[in-house]
Amino acid sequence: MGRFMKAVILSVLVACIQSLPGAASAMPDIPEQLKNGESHNDAIEFLKKSEFEKAIELESGILKNDPRDLTARFILAIAYLGAGEEKNAVEQAKSVKETDPAFASEIYAAMGRFYVTKKRYHKALVYFHEALGLKEDPGVIRHVASIYLGQGLIKNAKAYFERLLPIEPDYLNLGRIYLAEGDFDKAVEFADEAIKADPRTTGAYLVLGTAYLLKGKLDGAKANFELLSRTNPEFFLTSYFLGIINVVGKDYDDALKNFQALISSSPRLREGYLNAAVVLHQKGELKKAAEMAEKALGEDPLDPVSRIVLGNINISSRDYEKAGEELNKAADAYPEFSARAGWDKRLAAEGDAARFNMALILNRAGLFRQTVELVPEGDKEPLLMIMRARALEKLGQIDKAESFYKKVLEADPGLVPAYTGLGDISEARGEHDKAAEMYFKAALLFPESVRVRTKLGDIYVRSGKPDQAIEEYRKIISASPESVAAYRKIASLLAAKGDLDEALKYAKKGSATDPEDAETRDTLGWIYFRMGKYKEAVETSSAIEKNGNANPTAYYHLGLIYEELDMPLNARDAFEKALNLNDEFPDSAEAKRRLKAVSGLS
């Protein structure tokens, strides 16, 4: 699946999380079975006003007079949570777990919903799982699925949505998940079921249209996107999808209208200009095509695809100097344009530059089958052969892709992406030495490429050759002193070898190069921690809490630092932040154990 299509599908998944019921409730629902007698009305009013201590006092008195009053235990659990007394809240559920497990499940579920409203998703998961261990509840299952989806744990989310199938099926969200996983047949199956259940489910038409498009079934794709445009005219990306369908069908006039509609509705979206430029290039309207490509660059000057499209339009215009300027700027992301040969000798045949641009946007959209059709097996242009090989690789036809990369090298031994493509295939097979050999050759041809050298260093790390990895990362720093990741990677490798003093030097340099880089700050703080310099560690790492852009491991490390400094509340918050981001990150089991202990719940 192409990068832009992945971004579209991700936005669809995020939308589905936000639309799930209960996510925005201000206060957990009181279970239907609890008939709120007059004696509990005041306590419930206190809860609504967040006067939790008053609710606790009132319900504790009721419970003292009548220990069998389950309503009191339910309200007490929520009041204790509001007051920050989680352990006392848990005791309310535990006290009835043996005698009335179904009611204990209701208490746990209410606790989970409470934490959802506070965006404390790990705590919500803990109590939802407790609830489900006692009673199957579709609402709780749906909450668990939505939290996992929000954390990017799609397989976990899918398992819980599938658990709903026999009781309260959520066909649409299952269809969305299968679409994100690339299982287009399953996506179609569940989207169809969603429409059968409710023909007004407009999101299902988006799933169907996208799945049919990626399967190469253009008629089905077009029919569903046209339905979507009628039922949900405000969804601006419908124009993009219809434009891509018309591009594949070679109806360039209608495609151009679609992309112009996208530009009108979303003038800051690069994709409208970019795709319009490619269509105009196909139509031979080179001046207009260049103007559109320049507008795409105006929206995102760092986008290499826009530069390649503009460069290839300039090749078609025989303006090789301008073509070289644009294409060279995109070379780190697309190393085929690092070649030293004159641009009048590349993509020189009539229509080749336009075909390359077409293949570029097809691959970007995940339409790899169409790229393979566009570039036939006997094509002699090496750059187009590269695009076919990439598409074959994405389609899972690895042996064919490998064969095609080798054909490229026979035609032009200087093409860097043929070596990196072969290296990626070797690495996927676990053949790290072969992968390193290919990337080493690529680095010789394109020594200034940060991307190629970084990947070579990473391969050395995975193959257990840290010294060679460090050497590559040092070469990156020599050529590009602003490469923060290289400093960080060297620091991590040196720290793993026990050379903390040298590791500290590199981590400091990296952090000084970009003080806002959370990963480098985490690396520096963690090295201080390992050196026993806890004050420096906390001063360095605590800044990630202000920025809010750290990964789970960084928050976990921060929690360990706070523990060492005997700051249990800070440690608790850091461990919980790590788990809120991802309940299954690599150190999650230890983070959960420590969080439970520091919260007094172990």
Q: Per-residue pLDDT tens for 42-100?
A: 888 899 899 999 999 999 998 888 888 898 999 999 999 999 999 999 999 999 999 99
Q: pLDDT digit string (tens) for 40-56? A: 888 888 998 999 999 99
pLDDT of residue 5 exceeding 90: no
Average pLDDT over residues 171-181: 96
Q: Which residue has the higher pLDDT, 581 or 328?
A: 581
pLDDT of residue 16 exceeding 50: no
The confidence band for 343, taking pLDDT boundaries of 50, 70 and 90, is low
pLDDT for the residue 232: 87
pLDDT for the residue 20: 43
Q: pLDDT digit string (tens) for 365-412? A: 999 999 999 999 999 999 999 999 999 999 999 999 999 999 999 999
The confidence band for 337, taking pLDDT boundaries of 50, 70 and 90, is confident
pLDDT for the residue 298: 95
pLDDT for the residue 346: 75
pLDDT of residue 21 exceeding 60: no
- Does residue 45 lie in a domain region? no
Task: Tell me the DSSP string of 536-600.
Answer: HHHHHHTHHHHH----HHHHHHHHHHHHHTT-HHHHHHHHHHHHHH-TTSTTHHHHHHHHHHHTT
Please state, for a pLDDT cut of 90, what percent of the chain lies above it. Answer: 82
- Does residue 587 lie in a domain region? yes
Token pair in block for residue 454:
């970084």
Q: pLDDT digit string (tens) for 98-121? A: 999 999 999 999 999 999 999 999
Task: Tell me the DSSP string of 149-176.
Answer: HHTT-HHHHHHHHHHTTTTS--HHHHHH
- Does residue 595 lie in a domain region? yes
pLDDT for the residue 231: 87
Place of tokens 């639309």: 19
Hey, how many other C-beta atoms are within 10 angstroms of the C-beta on 118?
A: 11
Confirm whether pTM is higher than 0.85.
yes
Token pair in block for residue 318:
């025989």
Q: Lowest mean pLDDT of 137-141, 261-265, 328-332, 527-531, name the range.
A: 328-332
The confidence band for 440, taking pLDDT boundaries of 50, 70 and 90, is very high
pLDDT of residue 27 exceeding 60: no
Per DSSP, helices labelled H in 167-303 are: 171-181, 184-197, 202-215, 218-231, 237-248, 252-265, 270-283, 286-299
Question: Any idea what the Cα angle at residue 554 is, between residues 563 and 129, rounded to 5°?
Answer: 80
Question: Who's near 528: CB < 8 A, 6+ residues apart?
Answer: 504, 534, 536, 537, 540
Instruction: Print the SS3 string covering 97-120.
Output: HCCCHHHHHHHHHHHHHHHHHCCC
- Does residue 578 lie in a domain region? yes
Q: Which residue has the higher pLDDT, 233 or 585?
A: 585
Residue 132: phi and psi, rounded to 5, are -70, -25
CA 499 to CA 567: how far, in whole Å?
28
136: left (phi over 0), alpha (psi -120 to 50) or beta: beta
**31 DSSP 8-state letter:** P
Q: How far is the CA of 112 from the CAs of 122, 157, 225, in angstroms?
A: 9, 17, 38
Average pLDDT over residues 186-191: 98
Token pair in block for residue 205:
């038409």
- Give the total number of structural domains in the chain: 1
Q: Average pLDDT, whole number, for the chain?
A: 91
* 102, 134 Cβ separation under 8 angstroms: yes
- Does residue 582 lie in a domain region? yes
Report CA torsion sign: 344, 345, 347, 351: positive
Average pLDDT over residues 575-592: 98
Token pair in block for residue 87:
């352990």
Report CA torsion sign: 226, 230, 231, 235: positive
* Domain membership of residue 578 as a residue range: 551-602
Residue 355 CA neighbour count, 13 Å, CB half: 23
- Does residue 583 lie in a domain region? yes
* 151, 163 Cβ separation under 8 angstroms: no
- Does residue 559 lie in a domain region? yes
CA 387 to CA 544: how far, in whole Å?
40
pLDDT of residue 544 exceeding 80: yes
pLDDT for the residue 583: 98
Q: 540-574: b or e for each residue (b if 16 or more CB lie within 10 Å)?
A: bbbbbeeeeebebbbbbbbbbbbbeeebeebbbbb
CA 362 to CA 275: how far, in whole Å?
10
CA 475 to CA 468: how far, in whole Å?
11
Average pLDDT over residues 529-554: 92
- Does residue 586 lie in a domain region? yes
Which amino acid would we find at residue 506? Y
Question: Who's near 269: CB < 8 A, 6+ residues apart?
Answer: 236, 262, 263, 299
Place of tokens 């840290």: 466
The confidence band for 584, taking pLDDT boundaries of 50, 70 and 90, is very high
Average pLDDT over residues 347-352: 86
Of 130, 186, 180, the C-alpha closest to 155 is 180
Please state, for a pLDDT cut of 70, what percent of the chain lies above it. Answer: 92
CA 283 to CA 273: how far, in whole Å?
15
Report CA torsion sign: 298, 304, 306, 311: positive
